[in-house]
Amino acid sequence: MTPVSTVYDWTGFYLGAHGGYVSTRADSDGVFGNPAFAFDEKFNGGMLGVHAGYNFIQNGPWVLGIEGDVSRTWNDNTYLSTFEIGTDWQWSARARVGYAVDRTLFFGTAGVAGTNAYIDVLGTPIEIEDSMVGWTLGAGVEHAFTDNWLVRAEYRYSDYGDFEPLGLPTAIDVTEHSFRIGVSYKF
């Protein structure tokens, strides 16, 4: 009797958690239209979040699905011991296309993404916030160690558009690089 080889089935719903590193960039050609006040700042820190998705088609090695996530971020800078500037939450809703090599899935992902940017005046109740929505694009690899437990590594680039505090004519472009590792349970 010859053993029958089976290929891992990637279809179905999964739920998981992830953590990683996030590097956010905020740059402007000039505050209030004045190029003398141009800046380019980076805010680096950690992230922790949850994700859920559904792979609804597997045709040979090709896998097609959708995924959403929400993450808490800790990436901010303090200036003159007075202002703290950064982002504290982010989310995304994306399509995923993958190529499976049995229990390993190489995937690309793209969709809509959002973040919450803020400027906090330390020692006061003054906080300026703006929820921004843009796009995200990334790639990763996922491996099924068992029929239900999956481990992943992923890189994503996000462009959230412009942060305009209090509607002032100061457009601050906010972009981000993130590196994540995670674990999921496939039902």
Q: Which residues of 134-148 are buried (b: 16+ CB within 10 A; e: fewer)?
A: bebebbbebebeeee
Give the Å distances, CA to CA, from 105 to 66, 143, 153, 154. Answer: 14, 6, 11, 12
Question: Looking at residue 23, what is its pLDDT?
Answer: 95
pLDDT tens-digit readout, 63-74: 999 999 999 999
Question: Looking at residue 30, what is its pLDDT?
Answer: 64
Question: Mean pLDDT by 10-residue block, N- to C-terminus, for the chain (187 residues)?
Answer: 71 98 85 67 94 97 98 88 87 98 97 91 85 96 97 97 69 90 97
Domains and CATH numbers, the chain: 12-186 (2.40.160.20)
CA distance 136 to 75: 18
List Cβ<8 Å contacts ≥24 apart for 118-125: 118/84, 118/85, 118/86, 118/87, 118/88, 119/83, 119/84, 119/85, 119/165, 120/83, 120/84, 120/85, 121/82, 121/83, 122/78, 122/81, 122/82, 122/83, 122/84, 123/82
pLDDT tens-digit readout, 16-56: 999 999 999 988 776 666 666 667 888 899 999 999 999 99
pTM of the model: 0.87
- Strand segments, DSSP code E, in the chain are 12-28, 39-59, 62-79, 83-101, 104-121, 127-144, 149-163, 172-186
The helix/strand/coil state of 80 is coil
